[in-house]
Amino acid sequence: MTKMPGPPSFNGLKKRIADHRAGTAGRVGGHFVRETYCLTREEARAKAREWFDTFPKAAYWTEVESWRQIEGDQIEFTMRRLPSAD
């Protein structure tokens, strides 16, 4: 009797997504510019404010794409915006 293989690992998919995002960040044609940070809670708030001040949401569609709290008071988050305001 042949044993069925287990479910595929998501590590390969996660790497392909990250590689794709890194390779397309900042390109013109509708792709978003993304930056990921790992900062203390207060530093993370200040960095997000800086992005919203520099790249206003109405013009650049700026947003916090994802965030999570990691060990202690560290926040890992990704900011996203359009490359230009047309």
Tally of domains within the chain = 1
Q: In the predicted model, what is the mean pLDDT of residues 71-77?
A: 92
Does 55 map to a domain?
yes
Does 20 map to a domain?
no
**Pairwise pLDDT comparison (84 vs 37), residue with the higher score:** 37
Q: Does 85 have pLDDT greater than 90?
A: no
**Pairwise pLDDT comparison (54 vs 85), residue with the higher score:** 54
Does 10 map to a domain?
no
- Structural domain including 84 reads 35-86
- Residue whose token pair is 């200040």: 46
What are 4's two structure tokens?
A: 């069925």
For residues 31 and 25, is the Cβ–Cβ distance under 8 A? yes
Does 30 map to a domain?
no
What's the predicted TM-score (pTM) here? 0.63
pLDDT tens digits, 7-63: 666 777 777 777 777 765 555 445 899 999 999 999 999 999 999 999 999 999 999
Q: Which residues pair with 11 in a beta bridge?
A: none
Does 78 map to a domain?
yes
